[in-house]
Amino acid sequence: MASQPPGGLTGLHGTAFSAAALRAWHTIAGEEPKIFRDGLALALTGISEAEAIALGERVPAASASTCVLRSRFTEDRLAEARSRLGQYVVLGAGLDSYALRMGEALGGLTVFEVDDPPFQEWKREKIAELGLTVPPQLRFVPCEFETTSIAGALAPCGFDADAPCFISWLGVTQYLTREAIDETLRWAGSRPAGSEIVLTFLESNPQAKQLRSNMAQTGVAVLSDFATDEMTDMLEKAGFSRIEHLRQEAAEARYFAGRTDGLKAPEMQRLVSAVV
């Protein structure tokens, strides 16, 4: 039975579980209108509704805001892009449930969930334990990130390198070196015209410094943060031409206006979309 993830709720696996648990909390107990609904997050984490609600009440509102906003923005962008592409690559998929939630509605969209083998194996066992139907459009792509290239991992899983794709990379870059981030962005930027990426990055500010300190106490190293123009420059050099940052003011107006539950646009983790 897949009751606990590999290594327990520690390290980066722990951050994936926390993110899913906060999506579950917002879906169950968040104020209407919901920013993002993830009806499978609770089941995938294996926690109870009471535990999810307790977590949502305990953690800073900024953490919940970050988790629901990045998923909502990404899926909004993906919905707009589906008319021009048929592949969706989820880097560091964690407990992402997009393909499972969409099911038959995926239509011609193939979803490639890329993650490290132990965690992915655990997730697949959990999906089977829950009796969830895995749509044929969902491909699980095991990838030893330190030793295997993304291209090398995707190749045997039916990924068409000559066709455009949509890529999401959420909640990951802050745990990587700038060199590793650049390598992945150059792969993404070399995709065919029309391809798009949505990613999060930690903005360089006092809140980021505090996060480094807080995460270090949990054993997770925060390695990278960027000024907005630094990330823009990195994306341009990687091959992207249309780069749009979701700035805090725009996020507040689009997704958080009028809320009274304490959720507001995050100050640290920024979202950016870029098209080849």
Domains of the chain are 61-275 (3.40.50.150)
Axis crossing angle, helix 11-29 with helix 49-58, rounded to the nearest 10: 100
pLDDT reported for residue 140: 98
Which stretches of the chain are assigned E, i.e. beta strand? 87-91, 110-115, 138-142, 166-169, 196-202, 242-246, 269-275
pLDDT band of 2, cuts 50, 70, 90: very low
Euclidean distance between CA atoms 212 and 48, whole angstroms = 30
Read off the pLDDT of residues 46-56 as tens digits, 9 standing for 90 and up: 999 999 999 99
Euclidean distance between CA atoms 190 and 240, whole angstroms = 9
Q: Once rounded to an integer, what is the mean pLDDT over residues 61-84?
A: 95
Euclidean distance between CA atoms 243 and 276, whole angstroms = 9
Mean pLDDT for all residues in the chain? 91
pLDDT reported for residue 34: 96
Read off the pLDDT of residues 107-162 as tens digits, 9 standing for 90 and up: 999 999 999 999 999 999 999 999 999 999 999 999 988 788 999 999 999 999 99
Q: Does the structure show a pLDDT above 50 at 40?
A: yes
Q: Which segments of 110-198 does DSSP mark as H helices, in order?
A: 117-130, 150-154, 178-189
Task: Report yes or no: 275 and 194 within 8 Å, Cβ to Cβ.
Answer: yes
Decide which of 12 and 90 is more confident: 90
pLDDT reported for residue 226: 92
Read off the pLDDT of residues 182-216 as tens digits, 9 standing for 90 and up: 999 999 999 999 999 999 999 887 776 777 667 77
pLDDT reported for residue 145: 81
